[in-house]
Amino acid sequence: MMDGQREISPQEGDNPAMIRGGRRAFAMKNRLVLTLMAVLGVCLASVAQQAPTEPSAQLFRYRFEPGVPMKYRVNAQMSGTLPLFGGLPVEKVVLDMTVVLQVQKVRYDGNAELGIDVETFKAEMDGQALPLPVDRLRSSVRSLLFVVTPQGEVVERKGASALPFNIPIPGIEASQLPLLVLQLVFPRESLSVEQEWSYSRAMTTVPGDTPAQFTARWLKEETVNSLTASLFHQKMRWSRSFKADIFDLPTTDENLMVKQIEQTVNGDAQIWFGRNDGRLIKAVMDAQYEQRVRLLNPGESASQPAPARLTARVQIIREELLPREPQNGQTEK
């Protein structure tokens, strides 16, 4: 007896109609099995066709539109030893700010002139609010103008207003706040997934200062807050050595030189970039900062300052992607 057939009794075997009926039932069962297998094959082929494929090589560029602001919320949490007063230990320093980049003009070569504003700013150290001259900070940064290529490289900086205080985010000076939004400098050629590239970038406005070294890699495409995002991983290293005054500011005036300072910053970041609209979606950076100071002319009773070490996590996200919250306690424009 074949598999799938029932045994035919002797009485049924003498009946031609019953024999034909059994054969038809067996044939229908086989056709049903073959049909189900065909449908299953079509479904599997459809799933295979709908599965996400690896994106092809893509050209990454920032998109600058005159009059269109780029507004981001920045949160930085730091702990360790601040490079103040010979080393100030802190459990936690928290900075919250809203940074706005305004495209003032796009030049004929595609480079954009960007203005900057700090719309809100709050700072706490070990749970206590820090009374900082925010109005003076705003006035200073509003005088700055950056010229940026579509790849994200800062090629020109204008504005010489002195900033009232430094923002202690490792690797970022207050005069370079746009670098928080322009996280990546893309190559001129197209990129493929898992492709790595390197570049250098000036982190200060001091002439001849050592630039930071970056290595970035395009990891994959994914969805963030309903937006299609290209995820990048980036590492940075920056070290510099300079002579400074009593406020740790670089100086070339020998009458003011009192310290030799060595600074090192190592950073690791995940960056989500929106290729469709040509701007940063969000970024998370972890950085370690170390500063060593050597007094140039110490007195007999003076001792060399201990190294200052700081660990920081910085998160940046488009403001429109944040959940709405009360504005109490934020500094007005």
Q: Kindly report, residue by residue over 250-263, the tens digit of the pLDDT.
A: 788 888 888 898 98
From CA 276, how far away is CA 143, in angstroms rounded? Answer: 31
**284 pLDDT more than 90:** yes
Pick the closest to residue 308 from 321, 295, 291, 294 (CA basis).
291
Residue 2: pLDDT band (50, 70, 90) is very low
Averaged over 67-71, what is the pLDDT?
89
Terminal Cα distance for the chain, rounded: 90
Q: Give the pLDDT score at 330.
A: 52
Higher model confidence: residue 42 or residue 142? 142
Contact between 317 and 281 (Cβ < 8 Å)? yes
**193 pLDDT more than 60:** yes
3-state secondary structure of 195: coil
Averaged over 76-91, what is the pLDDT?
74
Q: What is the pLDDT of residues 102-116, one digit of tens each?
A: 999 999 999 999 998
Q: Give the pLDDT score at 332.
A: 44
**Full-model pTM:** 0.76
Which percentage of the chain shows pLDDT scores above 70? 73
Q: Give the pLDDT score at 168.
A: 61
Averaged over 144-167, what is the pLDDT?
80
From CA 271, how far away is CA 283, in angstroms rounded? Answer: 4
Pick the closest to residue 128 from 97, 88, 164, 91 (CA basis).
91
Q: How many C-beta neighbours within 10 Å does residue 85 have?
A: 7
Averaged over 291-298, what is the pLDDT?
85
Q: What is the mean pLDDT of the chain?
A: 80
